[in-house]
Structure 1
Amino acid sequence: MKYEVWAPAAENVEVETGGTRHAMTPAGRPGWWTARIDAGPEGQDYGFVLDGDGPFPDPRSPRQPNGVHGLGRTYDHERFTWSDEGWRGRPLPGSVLYELHVGTFTPLGTFDAAIERLDHLVDLGVDAVELLPVAAFPGRHGWGYDGVHLWAVHEPYGGPDGLKRFVDACHRRGLAVVLDVVHNHLGPSGNRLSRYGPYFTDAYETPWGPAVNVDRAGSDEVRAFIVGNALMWLREYHVDGLRLDAVHAIRDQRAVHILEELAEAVSRLAAETGREMFLIAESDLNDPRLVTSREAGGYGLDAQWSDDFHHALHTLLTGERHGYYADFGAPEALAKTLTRVFFHDGTWSSFRGRSHGRPVDTLRVPGHRFLGFLQNHDQIGNRATGDRLSASLSPGRLKVGAGLLLTAPFTPMLFMGEEWGARTPWRFFSDHQEPELARAVSEGRRREFADHGWAADDVPDPQDPETHRSSILNWAELREPHHRELLDWYRALIALRRARPELTDPRLTEVAVEYGTSWLIVHRGPLRVVANLGTEPVPLPDGEPLLASTPGVRGRLPGESLVVLLTGHG
């Protein structure tokens, strides 16, 4: 068995396995150490000893069966038997994504339990499943954004074999799999990367602690760690795409940005394997260069989340105007995002106290490179009580929101349970075992919302097991008529999106919007999507109703309703 590790500052490195320490010798690359030990039984626990200190888990540990503080365990990727040999992936353009969190998608919270619900997604009509992070993180349950072993799969979910079974099962059903990966920071518990080398830098700060070092001394190996990790998920676990968390927090002043380097590496792997692969960024920058091709001077990512579209739609539906919602809420804000993507494209942002963003070249950048959503894990879970739209909106307004999302020129994404108006909240929860850290997380969450007028007792404690339990989807709701009615509406919208090419047309220049104080008409070729957010009926343009949230629509559209019309031009 060959062991390797990058530890450039160490003068002596050993690998410990089976209770015995073995000396490692410098490898051919600067800072690397290596040792070859006679192979023992499959699944050896091991760690590295640095100048007599340790053992510590391997930064590239493929398994952490005893949690983030335990030793790593060897794992042979070749031993898993795949059944997806004929799978070549699904293109992102034209797809509908479905975001889910393994630990709350089912009561058991495992990959195998999630497999049992995949037929629901097929029946819904989605094309790809986007998993929240599954890299090993502290405790049994959490969001996954405080992962510390980026090459290992969270063991309570089912470990590496569990993830492979899930991906294989998705592919058998024609579903692609997108995995959320976090390369902008690591969690505080069990993070030992800095003991090995300059993985972090104090030249920049992030909201979560030290910034990952991608442009300072030693950053060549840190960048190789990030790119290698991304390729590992795509190659060894057969995932089809990656969602890159908060890339605005990755500070890189090198001539070739790490995102461009990553995009090029993924393109090479796609060519090598003959599979569709894509990268989706989460970014707060409103910078279209992320999804502009490398040939045109961009980073070459395939898509990015569009928060402005969410904010414009959310505020119009709910009337909320606090925080970063302050600049949104009028119909013209939604009209602008539907035609030009970013509301803040060089305009003044009152929340930031400065101008923000850059215009999208709508002649050259297709709409499918932007993900639109009505809800997602952040926009629900970062609310004080984790309340979904279904907790406050009428069934009619929920249907209008779904209609505007699924007929928009973007790649739509749903959040688990949204399709039936799930009444379960989705809250921020954690399971830190260190008493001081657990207390700090609980108190910090309450302080965060105290400034907004929330009483401490009204903000769920992230460390309380009930906070996690209450966030688990209640699949029994699907037996209730009003939930089934909303599910049927989502199915019909997705089916219409697939049947009418105008709805997947990526040309932003072919989208036009008319609006009044409480209504919008979105033009998609010969289709007219008419949304009435008021309470009084509004007149309809001429056309044949293809799909309506209120039955029997003719001439006038009732309040809180949406209809898709086919005009005489179709």
Structure 2
Amino acid sequence: MRNNTGPYFIGNNTCMFSCWAPEKQKVTLRIVSPKERDIPMEKDDMGYFHVNVADIPPGAEYYFMLEGEKELLPDPASNFQPHGVHGASAVVNHHTFPWEDAAWKSIPLEDIVLYELHIGTFTEEGTFDAVIPRLDDLISTGINAIEIMPVAQFSGERNWGYDGVFLYAPHVTYGGPEGLKRLVNACHQKGIAVYLDVVYNHVGPEGNVLHRYAPYFTSRYKIPWGDAMNMDDRWADGVRDYISNNPLYWFEYYHIDGLRVDAIHTLYDSSAVSIWELINQKVKSLRETLGRPLYLIAESDLNSPRVTQQPIIGGMGFDAQWLDDFHHALYTLADSRGKRRYEDYGSMHQLAKAYTDGFVLSGEFVKFRKRRFGRSSAGVGGNHFVAFTQNHDQVGNRVKGERLSLLVDFERLKLVAGALFTAPYIPLLFMGEEYAEEAPFLFFCDHQNPELINATREGRKKEFADFRDEGEPADPFDRNTFLQCKLNWLARRQGRHAIMLRWYSELISLRKEHPALRSYNKDNIQAEVIEPGMLVIHRKSKDKNKVMVFLNFAEHDTTYRVPAGNVLWKKLIDSRDARWNTENIASAFLPSEITETNFVTVPAICIAIYTGAQ
């Protein structure tokens, strides 16, 4: 990949360096190892400085010096920061890694079961390489795609990743560029697709030197992190290059299969060709060059179908978007305390709408926002949404970082999991969810600036001001806060955790085996609310495969009359069956077969799935 963004190692110990500084007249390249030297750079008409340097091996370290300044600055598009955010940048040769995935063509988006993980807490070692031995555990559960939380170089050793400073540099303590490549290579050899979480709406606060080079930020818009990235103000072209070339970098050099783009609603752009259209154009071209699919998934707070519509009709061109509404509608029914966090949710009819439409809030007045919000997504295929019951945000943005396993009982955990895998959306799990991990996922970081440390601590306290009765948030800078979040891999083989792991495996298998559960056609879904607390889902596929799903959230048994249709319903799974019971004692459970017009009594807090044949 040759473009103006960042260094390009050509080969034969020759590297082309590039630096965008349109308002500067002079930029000098300072090589600091293996042999120190200063090399002047030449400026082109677009404000880029270039120079080709010979006798420079991979691993050579360098800085840039801007005119009128004595300070040495790392490269904004650095491929590797071996000494952290304040140190020198290093040359990386992206042509010599021994890839073994030439036959890999990825997995269609419609067929994936996503698994979000954080490199630092997924294993005790907290590295890319340490993930590899755990891949077989994921495969045995039915997971075939991982979504890695952001790995762009951030300050310190530990961070969620959303404070990344060098967007092209995999974090050094995780294993740097070579470590990430080894992980992707291993995943592809085992049939696992790799998605990477990327952040384009802001840059982390510590070590950020972008403003020293050029107008990367604009005061035209304000976002939660300060000035917005400059997509449409003076000198925006270089910033747009910096952002739009980043997906290509991950796709080409790291063989990444897809990107999850963080909070797209905070990247403002009034250009005739938006940044999303520009990215879409470049990714489409690279797809054709590489001959494999490359996917883009958005996190959006817009509740707008425009996110996945094509740019030619004014859309943003994403393949899918996260569906927060599904989580909110489901969680508020599973946990009676959920209404406190999501005041606009909590009715069974909303969960029904989440199944049949997608967006629950689609133009209604929303108390949380104090305005009308959203637009209907009824006509948008389910394959354009990613649904979940937990993710890093939903867990980590609680005072105590509790997972759902500590918020609801075991029966409700099974119910919620079943609801996810019977929904017509791409399912996503948060690491450890599959075996009811109990370790928290707290917010943690490792900045060094005392003022920034204090500001972060105070910011977290203010964020949870309405939840003071739940206690004080953990100190994000205490290393123990981070260590508490490590997964307990031994738990998955023990007691109720092992039962939950088998439950998830069975749900994933059923979804793969039955076309009606695999279908993303929302037109073939009926959701019937049975008061006061049960939802009955009817789904069918093109080949007339049918399933009927009972979701009883009520604290009591609920009776339902099966509609006529000359169908014999056979039970596939029942959460009240003895094999899913922690005491291994059968409780009230549903019959193995049901015929039309039968009255069926569904036990309290239960999910059951039936398949139908005429």
Q: TM-score range by the shorter chain?
A: over 0.9
Matching residue's letter, 2:514? R
The aligned counterpart of 1:537 is 557
In 2, Cα distance between equivalents of 1:479 and 1:123: 13
1:355 aligns with 2:372: yes
Shift of 1:47: 0.6
Shift of 1:436: 2.1
Shift of 1:33: 1.1
Find 1:527's aligned residue among 521, 524, 547: 547
In 1, Cα distance between equivalents of 2:41 and 2:613: 76
The aligned counterpart of 2:479 is 465
Query: What's the secondary structure of 2:241's corresponding residue?
Result: helix
In 2, Cα distance between equivalents of 1:243 and 1:405: 20
Matching residue's letter, 1:445? R
* Matched-pair contact (CA < 8 Å) for 1:96–1:128: yes
The aligned counterpart of 2:353 is 336
1:33 aligns with 2:54: no
1:502 aligns with 2:539: no
Shift of 1:451: 3.5
Shift of 1:53: 2.9
Find 2:110's aligned residue among 70, 90, 93: 93
* Matched-pair contact (CA < 8 Å) for 2:556–2:603: yes
Matching residue's letter, 1:342? F
Query: What's the secondary structure of 1:338's corresponding residue?
Result: helix
Q: TM-score if structure 1 supplies the norm length?
A: 0.97
The aligned counterpart of 2:444 is 429
Shift of 1:322: 4.8
* Matched-pair contact (CA < 8 Å) for 2:263–2:298: yes
1:298 aligns with 2:320: no
Find 2:194's aligned residue among 152, 172, 177: 177
Query: What's the secondary structure of 1:116's corresponding residue?
Result: helix
* Matched-pair contact (CA < 8 Å) for 2:29–2:41: no
Query: What's the secondary structure of 1:255's corresponding residue?
Result: coil
* Matched-pair contact (CA < 8 Å) for 1:14–1:21: no
Structure 2 spans left out of the alignment, 5+ residues:
1-14, 541-545, 563-568, 578-588, 592-599
Structure 1 spans left out of the alignment, 5+ residues:
none
The aligned counterpart of 1:562 is 607
The aligned counterpart of 1:82 is 99
Find 1:22's aligned residue among 26, 38, 53: 38
The aligned counterpart of 2:582 is none
The aligned counterpart of 1:412 is 427
The aligned counterpart of 2:573 is 547
In 1, Cα distance between equivalents of 2:289 and 2:553: 50
- Which region of structure 1 is more displaced relative to structure 2, 510-519 or 486-495? 510-519
The aligned counterpart of 2:12 is none
> Which residues of 2 match residues 170-319 of structure 1 at below 5 A?
170-319=187-336
* Matched-pair contact (CA < 8 Å) for 1:94–1:368: no
In 1, Cα distance between equivalents of 2:115 and 2:293: 18
Structure index of larger Rg: 2
* Matched-pair contact (CA < 8 Å) for 1:17–1:45: yes
* Matched-pair contact (CA < 8 Å) for 1:3–1:36: yes
Query: What's the secondary structure of 1:497's corresponding residue?
Result: helix
In 1, Cα distance between equivalents of 2:52 and 2:413: 60
In 1, Cα distance between equivalents of 2:426 and 2:152: 26
1:80-123 Cα offsets, whole Å, 9 max, x none, are 11000100111111321110000000111001111110001111
The aligned counterpart of 1:127 is 144
Matching residue's letter, 2:25? E
Matching residue's letter, 2:553? L
* Matched-pair contact (CA < 8 Å) for 1:324–1:351: no
Number of positions where the alignment pairs a residue of Structure 1 with one of Structure 2 = 566
> Which residues of 2 match residues 40-79 of structure 1 at below 5 A?
40-51=56-67, 52-79=69-96
RCO higher in 1 or 2 (8 Å CA, sep ≥ 6)? 1
1:390-447 Cα offsets, whole Å, 9 max, x none, are 0021111000000010110111100000011101010001111122212221222123
Shift of 1:11: 2.0
The aligned counterpart of 2:596 is none
In 2, Cα distance between equivalents of 1:294 and 1:451: 40
Matching residue's letter, 1:128? A
> Which residues of 2 match residues 371-386 of structure 1 at below 5 A?
371-386=386-401
Query: What's the secondary structure of 2:503's corresponding residue?
Result: helix
In 2, Cα distance between equivalents of 1:31 and 1:296: 33
Shift of 1:283: 0.4
Query: What's the secondary structure of 2:196's corresponding residue?
Result: strand
1:23-51 Cα offsets, whole Å, 9 max, x none, are 42334342111223332343111010001
Matching residue's letter, 2:241? A
1:447-488 Cα offsets, whole Å, 9 max, x none, are 3213332476x3211011111000110111123121011111
Matching residue's letter, 1:535? E
In 1, Cα distance between equivalents of 2:398 and 2:344: 19
- Which region of structure 1 is more displaced relative to structure 2, 386-395 or 36-45? 36-45
Q: TM-score if structure 2 supplies the norm length?
A: 0.90
In 2, Cα distance between equivalents of 1:397 and 1:303: 28
- Which region of structure 1 is more displaced relative to structure 2, 39-48 or 242-251? 39-48
Query: What's the secondary structure of 2:111's corresponding residue?
Result: coil
Shift of 1:319: 1.8
> Which residues of 2 match residues 110-189 of structure 1 at below 5 A?
110-189=127-206
In 2, Cα distance between equivalents of 1:417 and 1:177: 18
* Matched-pair contact (CA < 8 Å) for 1:185–1:212: yes
* Matched-pair contact (CA < 8 Å) for 1:14–1:49: yes
* Matched-pair contact (CA < 8 Å) for 1:133–1:179: yes
In 2, Cα distance between equivalents of 1:480 and 1:524: 35
Query: What's the secondary structure of 1:405's corresponding residue?
Result: helix
In 1, Cα distance between equivalents of 2:470 and 2:307: 40
* Matched-pair contact (CA < 8 Å) for 1:323–1:351: no
1:4-37 Cα offsets, whole Å, 9 max, x none, are 1111111221011127442423343421112233
Shift of 1:275: 0.9
RMSD of the alignment, in Å? 1.5
Shift of 1:388: 0.6
Shift of 1:540: 5.0
In 2, Cα distance between equivalents of 1:369 and 1:179: 18
In 2, Cα distance between equivalents of 1:502 and 1:209: 47
Query: What's the secondary structure of 1:451's corresponding residue?
Result: helix
